[in-house]
Amino acid sequence: MRDDLRVIWLIASRELRDQFRDWRILSPLLILTLAFPVLMNEVAHQAVAFFAKYGTNLIADRLVPFSVLIIGFFPITISLVVALESFVGEKERGTIEPLLSAPLENWQLYFGKLLVGILTPLAASFLSIGLYMFMVSHQRLHMPSFYTMIMLMTLTIAHAILMVSAAIVISAQSTSVRAANLLASFIVIPVAVLMQGESVLMFWGTDQVLWLAVAAVIVMSGLLVRLGISHFEREYLLGREFDSLNWRWILRTFWVSFRGEAKSPFGWYRLEVRKVMRRLAVPMLIILTLAVMGYFASYDWAMVNIPRLLPNASTQDMKELVNGARNSTGLAQTGQHLSAAFIFGNNVRATFLILLGGAVSFSVLGLIVYLVNVGLIGAVLGIFKLLGYSPAVLFAAGLLPHGIFEIPALMLSSAIVLQIGAALVTPQTGKSMGQVVLELLADWAKIFLGVVIPLLAVAAVIEAYVTPSILLSVMK
């Protein structure tokens, strides 16, 4: 095992040495790493003086930690190029084949590249942060606490691992350095957005949530590494030469998987939809467990927190809350009566959101969208309980008539997205990543068109024309 790990370091150290011998990599990295803290220090200095004039010391206090976060982030984006070209760059230079022909395991090659990809940006980040902190310590700026620094360093490490693991996935799957560099935007932009959220949390001062963000980023990085190793194939690194978009192949692969062995629509239901449904047994169980937990957690939250919050709310606050809720769901435009088409469209949009969220986050965001929907039910029933209604009766009268169809549809959409996330990080021997994605999308389409759409259509009609009457008669 020790020898196996030593090989990882061997691959990484060779590349590190190569980088340090290339002034074209080294000089911009050093200049930007060292220049940026100086610039940031000046900006922070001016900003602190500005905020001090208006007595907003809290912002001034938080400015240095915020700067540390930014300073740590920039060198990572600069040195991301090392990770981006780790595999595809060697392929273009023709050096990858002797390495692939050597008796190295896939994971050794992958972790060797990952290690060097992480070490360079982290070294640059820490150098930048160190320089900045040195300058801060020599000025009248508020020094962050040790605890805050630990959190900031952990966040920086988490960002580096996340970005580099995504970059390595791109590098192993791209056919040219140019394509890999273009795809880098899909790493830098989401992480920049993530950092904006973290910055808000930092100014807001909720450390616990920031630690949760760190944990989420690390989990995401782990999933990306798993994705990369699962789909790392020597064959694809050598076999593919062009980035040409083969629409015929894409459509054929999707269609073959979507149609399967079926010869008629009935046969498609009987064979193909059923096959996918059978595979969804375990994800459905997980989704069901999450639903129960989400429901009770939000119900409990509403019962505990709303009585505490309501007395402090003004009439204006309540009006804004109601208007906000109406506008956000489009209720204001639809009048009092919701049409079946509107409900159907809304639910279809939710299932698409679950797919989109899940597709970019190995199901995590998709499941969050699902849990928000489940949580809303729990919270609304909790509020009605506070108003003196029986949640069980309301559930039976206001939710169950259409929920019998709508809830399974929502659960199935979430289960298939969970299945997609799990399949993406599972090795699929002999299949390219593109093929795996297309087959998973075909599975999703089978469930969506074959089961979810019909269920949502029936649910929408019942919700528009049956549920309101039942609910009104119960509420009276």
Compare residues 95 and 390 and give the one whose CB is closer to another protein: 95
Q: Examine residue 99 and tell whether it contacts another protein (CB under 8 A).
A: yes
69 neighbors 151 (Cβ within 8 angstroms): no
Q: Which residue has the tokens 């009609």?
A: 461
Residue listed under structure tokens 């079946």: 340
Choose, by CB under 8 A, the member of 1, 2, 3, 311 that binds another protein.
3
Question: Can residue 255 be called a binding residue for another protein (CB under 8 A)?
Answer: no
Burial class (CB in 10 A: 0-12, 13-18, 19+), 167: buried
Q: Does 278 bind another protein (CB under 8 A)?
A: no
Measured from the CB atom, the residue of 10 and 215 that comes closer to another protein is 10
Closest by Cα among 90, 91, 149, 86 to 118: 86
Measure CA of the first residue to CA of the last residue in the chain; give whole Å: 72
Q: Which is nearer to another protein, 3 or 261 (CB)?
A: 3
Q: Is 22 in the site for another protein (CB under 8 A)?
A: yes
Are the C-beta atoms of 449 and 409 separated by less than 8 Å?
Answer: no
427 is a contact residue toward another protein (CB under 8 A): no
103 forms part of the interface with another protein (CB under 8 A): yes
- Segment contacting another protein (CB under 8 A): 14-22, 158-166, 262-270, 358-366? 14-22
Report the residue from 101, 139, 323, 327 that binds another protein according to the rule CB under 8 A.
Answer: 101
Nearest distance from C-beta of residue 233 to another protein, angstroms: 9
Q: Which of the stretches 88-96, 121-129, 187-195, 200-208 binds another protein when contact is defined by CB under 8 A?
A: 88-96
**Would you state the structure tokens that stand for residue 279, as one six-digit string?**
């595979």
Pick one of 16, 34, 59, 100: the residue that binds another protein (CB under 8 A): 100
- What type of residue is 380? V
Q: Which is nearer to another protein, 264 or 429 (CB)?
A: 429
Q: Is 270 in the site for another protein (CB under 8 A)?
A: no
Are the C-beta atoms of residues 62 and 199 closer than 8 Å to each other?
no
CB proximity list for 290: less than 8 A, separation 6 or greater: 367, 370, 371, 374
Give the number of residues in contact with another protein, rule: CB under 8 A: 27
Q: Which amino acid is at 139?
A: Q
For position 239 contacting another protein by CB under 8 A, the verdict is yes
Alpha helices in 55-105 (DSSP H): 57-84, 88-93, 96-100
* Residue 94 binding another protein, by CB under 8 A: yes
Q: Which is nearer to another protein, 22 or 207 (CB)?
A: 22
* Position 243 contacts another protein (CB under 8 A): no
Task: Answer for the pair 133, 68: CB distance below 8 angstroms, yes or no.
Answer: yes
Task: Please tell me whether residue 97 binds another protein under the rule CB under 8 A.
Answer: yes
Residue nearer to another protein on the CB measure, 77 or 106: 106
Query: What tokens appear for 194 in the block?
Result: 């993530």
Work out whether 5 is an interface residue with another protein (CB under 8 A). no
Q: Which is nearer to another protein, 205 or 239 (CB)?
A: 239
DSSP 22: -
250 binds another protein (CB under 8 A): no
CB atoms closer than 10 angstroms to residue 322: 11
The greatest distance separating any two alpha carbons of the chain, rounded to the nearest whole angstrom, comes to 81
The least distance separating another protein from the CB of residue 301, rounded to whole angstroms, comes to: 53
Q: Which is nearer to another protein, 103 or 265 (CB)?
A: 103
- Min separation Cβ 28 and another protein, Å: 17
* Number of helical H runs and strand E runs in the chain: 24, 0
Near another protein by CB under 8 A, which window of 33-41, 92-100, 341-349, 452-460? 92-100
238 binds another protein (CB under 8 A): yes
Q: Which stretch binds another protein (CB under 8 A): 103-111, 125-133, 289-297, 321-329?
A: 103-111
The answer to whether the beta carbons of residues 358 and 421 sit under 8 Å apart is yes
Q: Which of residues 293-352 bind another protein (CB under 8 A)?
A: none
Residues belonging to the chain: 476
Helix boundaries (H) for 174-184? 177-183
Output the six-digit token pair for 171.
């590098």
Give which of 474, 419, 475 is closest to 442, Cα–Cα. 419
Q: Which residues bind another protein (CB under 8 A)?
A: 3, 7, 10, 14, 17-18, 21-22, 94-105, 234-235, 238-239, 246, 249, 430
